[in-house]
Amino acid sequence: MDIENLVGSIADFNAEKFAQAAEELHYADLANVFEDLDDQGREFFTKNIDTARFSEVLAELPDTLIEETLERFPIAQQREILGQLVDDDRADILQDVSTSAQQRYLALLQPEEMEETRSLMRYHEETAGGRMTTKVARITQNMSVKEALDTLREEQDSAESLARIYVVDERGHLLGKVRLRDLAFSTWDTRVSSIMEEVDITILATADQEEAAQIFSKYDMTLLPVVNEYEYLLGVITHDDVLEILEEESTEDIEKMSGIAGEQSEETYLNTALSTHFKRRFPWLLILAMLAISSGYVMLRFEDVLSSIYLLALYLPMVVAAGGNTGGQAAAMVIRAMSLGELEAGTTRKVLSKEVCLGAMLGSVMGLCIAIVTMFILPLFNPQLPVGVTIASFSLAVSLALALQITSSTLSGALLPIGARAIKLDPAVVAAPAITTLVDISGMLIYFTAARAILHIT
């Protein structure tokens, strides 16, 4: 409703209606609308939006739009927008623009903001330090409740959340935490040190963002304090950061598991350029195609088997594909368990023995199904088999090959992600597409070898 009003006002270049509609909307909606506009629409949007409002919108925009959008504003407004940003958003934004723009934008900041932003920019975007905000509510242990409340009241706008208030010593080392309710409901002369609780869980600024998200969701945290190796309190990670991390990491897993390469686009699927989509899909496609020629080569080498019993072609794609499917399932299970932090080092043997059992179970049941289908249904079609080959021996060859292919593929599906992790690769890159291609080769080999041996093809 409001969104439609906004879009309509931009189409009509109606500044008054625009200002009204923009005021009612959430910044996330404003950012969505902005992203979908054409150049003229964006020009109108940036001319007419309340500058103070726009810093929130800017923080929601995809990386690729940041610089060109900021450049639409005169310098005074750039200064205002950058000044209004929350510190972690500001550091993120400055990490995403060109080096020359970065210098220019930094120079627009107040000296202390500049210092703070620079120090945040030292951390890689995907670490706890890169995600944290330094706007954390801090009090010291010698304060009374009254002093603490006064301090917080003065600084309330500089803390992103008062859900937890951290107690530090004079040099900034983390000592404990209190909740605002503990302060609000205590008598004013109570010492902070007497109501503060211990902080059990912290994270190092250099830790991976995925670790922060895992800690957050495992321990149902509200805020996660970020420290350096001397337990000096640097900042906090808030729950909206964690939602973003989880979304990013899930997208990354799904994309990698589908053979999509490169960094994920911050833009929506529809707004991402064709060339970007192309660049991310092409590399794996080419690598896998080259690998798949090996399967063809195996098929070529077994010409004699296929030409003496061409009926083998009926089950060839099925046996080969079943390996890809079971391998893909096993890989997905193992990769997901790894992402959820369930598989630490030392569990490899358990995983492999589990998957070997499962593979053997799936393989034998599937083999049995196909043997039955072949024994009872195939004869109805009067298949042509060479002398010396019976329906029974044909069924045996096919179902044995299927069982072997499923068992070995299940094992490969579990083994490859674990192996990838061992050599510090992301396990997700060896999911379905890579596994399917690899077990296609083994499937061809298993199928033709079983047929040749059991059906005595010379």
Residues within window 170-189 making contact with a copy of itself, judged by CB under 8 A: 179-181, 183-185
Please tell me whether residue 244 binds a copy of itself under the rule CB under 8 A: yes
Size, binding site for a copy of itself by CB under 8 A: 109
Q: Which of 109, 331, 389, 401 binds a copy of itself (CB under 8 A)?
A: 331
Please, which residue, 185 or 376, has the CB nearer to a copy of itself?
185
Dihedral (Cα; 169, 113, 33, 251), 10-degree rounding: -50
Q: Which of 310, 422, 425, 456 binds a copy of itself (CB under 8 A)?
A: 310
Rounded CA-CA distance 80/262 in Å is 35
Per-residue binding string, a copy of itself, 262-301, x by CB under 8 A, is ------xxx---x--xx--xx-xxx-xx--xx-xxx-xx-
Which of the residues 182 through 241 are near a copy of itself (CB under 8 A)?
183-185, 200-201, 216-220, 222, 239-240
Please tell me whether residue 160 binds a copy of itself under the rule CB under 8 A: no
Nearest to 235 by CA among 130, 148, 382, 348: 130
Backbone angles phi, psi at 106, to 5 degrees: -60, -40
Which of the residues 116 through 155 are near a copy of itself (CB under 8 A)?
149, 152-153
Please, which residue, 219 or 376, has the CB nearer to a copy of itself?
219
Which of the residues 38 through 57 are near a copy of itself (CB under 8 A)?
none
Backbone angles phi, psi at 176, to 5 degrees: -175, -170
Q: How far is the CB of 319 from a copy of itself (least distance, A)?
A: 8
Please tell me whether residue 315 binds a copy of itself under the rule CB under 8 A: yes
Q: How far is the CB of 242 from a copy of itself (least distance, A)?
A: 7
Chain Cα centroid distance, residue 205: 20
Q: Which of 71, 173, 303, 453 binds a copy of itself (CB under 8 A)?
A: 303
Indicate if the alpha-carbon torsion angle 179, 182, 185, 191 is positive or negative. Answer: negative
Contact 178, 94 (CB under 8 A): no
Q: Which of 43, 251, 376, 392 binds a copy of itself (CB under 8 A)?
A: 251
Please, which residue, 235 or 433, has the CB nearer to a copy of itself?
433
Please, which residue, 235 or 328, has the CB nearer to a copy of itself?
328
What pairing do the DSSP bridges indicate for beta strands 174-178 and 161-168? Answer: antiparallel
Which of the residues 12 through 41 are near a copy of itself (CB under 8 A)?
26, 28
Which of the residues 337 through 396 are near a copy of itself (CB under 8 A)?
337, 340, 342-343, 347, 350-351, 354, 357-358, 361-362, 365-366, 369-370
Q: How far is the CB of 328 from a copy of itself (least distance, A)?
A: 5
Please, which residue, 70 or 370, has the CB nearer to a copy of itself?
370
Nearest to 166 by CA among 186, 184, 146, 183: 183
Please tell me whether residue 162 binds a copy of itself under the rule CB under 8 A: yes
Contact 174, 232 (CB under 8 A): yes
Please, which residue, 35 or 96, has the CB nearer to a copy of itself?
35
Please, which residue, 109 or 444, has the CB nearer to a copy of itself?
444
Q: How far is the CB of 325 from a copy of itself (least distance, A)?
A: 5
Nearest to 314 by CA among 246, 248, 384: 384
Q: How far is the CB of 277 from a copy of itself (least distance, A)?
A: 6
What is the CB neighbour count within 10 angstroms for residue 23?
11
Which of the residues 411 through 440 are near a copy of itself (CB under 8 A)?
431-433, 436-437, 440
Please, which residue, 172 or 262, has the CB nearer to a copy of itself?
262
Residue type for position 405: Q
Please, which residue, 70 or 152, has the CB nearer to a copy of itself?
152
Q: How far is the CB of 383 from a copy of itself (least distance, A)?
A: 10
Backbone angles phi, psi at 217, to 5 degrees: -80, -30
